[in-house]
Structure 1
């Protein structure tokens, strides 16, 4: 995975990206392995090179909220490049995964040698924050049907005129992503299937036609 394909580093020169790569290391994780825990000390950014991971939060009684699903080219732990605060979320490998671990010291060395790189990274982080704001808006202002529709739209890859979500998503997975009960998600999925909008297979979901924002 070349770092110029990662939006956080969009704008770095090939030489600057190579400096980061040369000071980083590749790590491999088996399925269901915790990569980082919420509250751990953070000193590295991780870039997904292969596999699938999930970033999530849990409360003290074990309830879980999924923040994002991570595929090749995605990244997590970016705040560790800028501060010494503990990890704000946990990340688990859903499948066998390979990630590039970029230490904060490598990033700071790059900034010291090329100060303009900080402006590039901060600009790209602002774009990420805007996306997070839209996610919060969705949770606060959009009904559950609309939240599920947005999740499907964000994950689907258009293939032969339909959207393919090529991963296994359980009803509980979706419930954790949209902040709803599994029972509510079950009812909405049944409606989507009966309306001809989606087709649910054991290891993928097919979006047959554009989903309305409201039901």
Structure 2
């Protein structure tokens, strides 16, 4: 196909086409030649003058899945060029082909000099978005039909079993035994395909419903069981977890439902247990409490800052988790605490919050800011309720060899780091 007949250039005059041809490189390829591979930088695109090119997606097991077959007049590679993202597919020439090659510099110049190029890509992106949405909707509907068909084949007890799993973020095996008289292993023996609906978490001895299946089941749950059944199953799970002292699972349930005040109420109980068991030196019990606290802190990552910083006991436990696992998130919540609640904290609590900031900054290598936090922690009770200035992050890096001396110059409380948090819990 001549370049003047291609959709991309149909609005070009003969003079503009002549200028364009002087900027493009023409390349020839044989069957089997690879133009680009999935994951490559998206720094160019191709126009097919003649021939055929196949697009494939690369699966994790190394096999390829055919996506499209392109021929005369088609373009390829433009999406990565437009989005500056890596290639989303692999392009292999299927028959002897002649193509025009456009690199990024040439493309950018064309877009600036030729407004009709921009119009073409706007139309192209719109068409592809509509096409993609159509395919996704068709895939979603097909998946829903499959789920409904498979669920209808189950005995009533197993159907309830699956709908309960869909209502909860995760379900302990012993809860399933309590509610339905069978564990996930026993359910799998009764219905071999149960594994297609749920995934097991061996470490926590629990299961969770695959998200795409949970969405289908939750959509049809009100029609099948009525509006109140979902809440009934959730309440049964919460009551069981409360009896078992499984605060982590309770927080997960409330967090999944965005019931943050209730989630924080339970998280406060769990935080209190960590302090209590640490003081008792009950190592086995403390280890279990710490395990629960990790799960709780992960669930609270989505909690609105203004709610979390208002619960000092929960904030203490959350920051302890962040120091080891998510220091950036920890520093963000410390700054939110000082901005939103600094004036409401007691002197001892405020000292502890500053120490958290110092420890988190140290963890992140922001030593100058860590020093400012330590200085605030060591000041008298009348210090201002605030956080170090934002400019501190731009200051020169404080040498790490100075850290011990700086810690020694701080107050006894500051030298205790996060350990003091237990004393400031109440």
Shift of 1:132: 3.5
1:118 has 2:123 as partner: no
Distance 2:129 2:37 in 1: 21
Conserved in 2, the CA contact under 8 Å of 1:54 and 1:70? yes
Distance 1:132 1:12 in 2: 29
1:7 is matched with which residue?
A: 7
2:87 is matched with which residue?
A: 87
Shift of 1:34: 1.1
TM-score when scaled to structure 1? 0.57
Where 2:40 maps in the other structure, the secondary structure is coil
Distance 1:39 1:119 in 2: 28
User: What stretches of structure 1 of length at least 5 have no aligned partner?
Assistant: 144-215
1:108 is matched with which residue?
A: 108
2:24 is matched with which residue?
A: 24
Conserved in 2, the CA contact under 8 Å of 1:10 and 1:120? no
Distance change >3 Å, CA 58–CA 128, structure 1 → 2: same
1:127 is matched with which residue?
A: 127
User: What stretches of structure 2 of length at least 5 have no aligned partner?
Assistant: 144-426
1:99 has 2:103 as partner: no
Shift of 1:94: 1.2
Q: Deviations over 1:172-213 (max 9, x none)?
A: xxxxxxxxxxxxxxxxxxxxxxxxxxxxxxxxxxxxxxxxxx
Conserved in 1, the CA contact under 8 Å of 2:3 and 2:49? no
Distance change >3 Å, CA 49–CA 135, structure 1 → 2: farther
Shift of 1:69: 0.3
Shift of 1:38: 0.7
Distance 1:28 1:121 in 2: 25
Q: Pairwise CA RMSD of aligned residues?
A: 2.5
Q: Tell me which of the two structures has the higher relative contact order, counting C-alpha pairs closer than 8 angstroms and 6 or more residues apart.
A: 1
Distance 1:52 1:133 in 2: 26
1:47 is matched with which residue?
A: 47
Where 1:123 maps in the other structure, the secondary structure is helix
Greater strand share, 1 or 2? Answer: 1
Distance 1:68 1:3 in 2: 22
Say which one has the larger Rg: 2
